[in-house]
Amino acid sequence: MKTQPVNLRAECYGDAALPPLIVLHGMLGSGRNWASMAKRLGDRFAVWAVDLRNHGASPHAADMSYPAMAADLGAFLEREGIAKPVLAGHSMGGKAAMRFAVDAPERVRGLAVVDIAPKPYAPRWEKEFAALRALDLATLRSRSEAEARLEPAIPDWAFRKFLTTNLVRDPETKAFRWAVNLEGLHAALPQLFQKGLGEGERYDGPVLFLRGGRSRFVDPGDIAVIQRHFPRARLETVEGAGHNVHFDAPDAFAERLLGWIDGEVAGGRAG
């Protein structure tokens, strides 16, 4: 049975008359994670920072598969009248963008994938989800208190800050609640770490894979499996960056992305 698309929430940075660039966030993120980069690119593109289903201000739904996320994106583009955008997706958002490009190549001008490859990954996030699910929201007074409670299980300060951006106050009760569908995402973890593409599925348009030099998500040797699905793909490494390449090295990220668009994406807007 086909999943009904949900009405994705998105914010546009830049003049809507400029060429469209859609950015898709990773697990437990939101379009806000891309705000700084979207503003930076907004003089060249209409940058749409999207909240994927079960994240941010977008609706919750039981199906958290990549085909469902791709269907949501297709419905969003149709609703907003966006034709042939460049897609840029990070991590989970990168796999959703790959799925959409393979399913609807005629609707994509080019594809940029940030620190993820079309391969299966070992399960992770269980410890983090356990800590988030155990957090007693009824007694929580502030996000800083939430960070303190999470510290024993999640010692990385920046990561805790990132996770607690998903805590919002209910407008009526003022109590904290999760903006993300925490239970639904936890249940979907096994399928989200699968390859995401089937054998023989491919997109023949221009593709850029950007990996962080300090990240272990994409190895230089992955170019073989990448090019089986994306024959025109090139893989570049941003040295000094971790998994969140657009955060860790924004200057290098923007330079690589814009250089690829101007050099290889048909219709890329020059300078």
* 243 has catalytic annotation: yes
Q: Are residues 90 and 244 in contact, defined by beta-carbon separation less than 8 angstroms? A: yes
Q: Point out the catalytic residue in the list 25, 90, 229, 243.
A: 243
* 91 has catalytic annotation: yes
Amino acid at 130: A
Q: Point out the catalytic residue in the list 91, 128, 215, 246.
A: 91
* 78 has catalytic annotation: no
The residues annotated with a catalytic role in the active site are 91, 183, 243
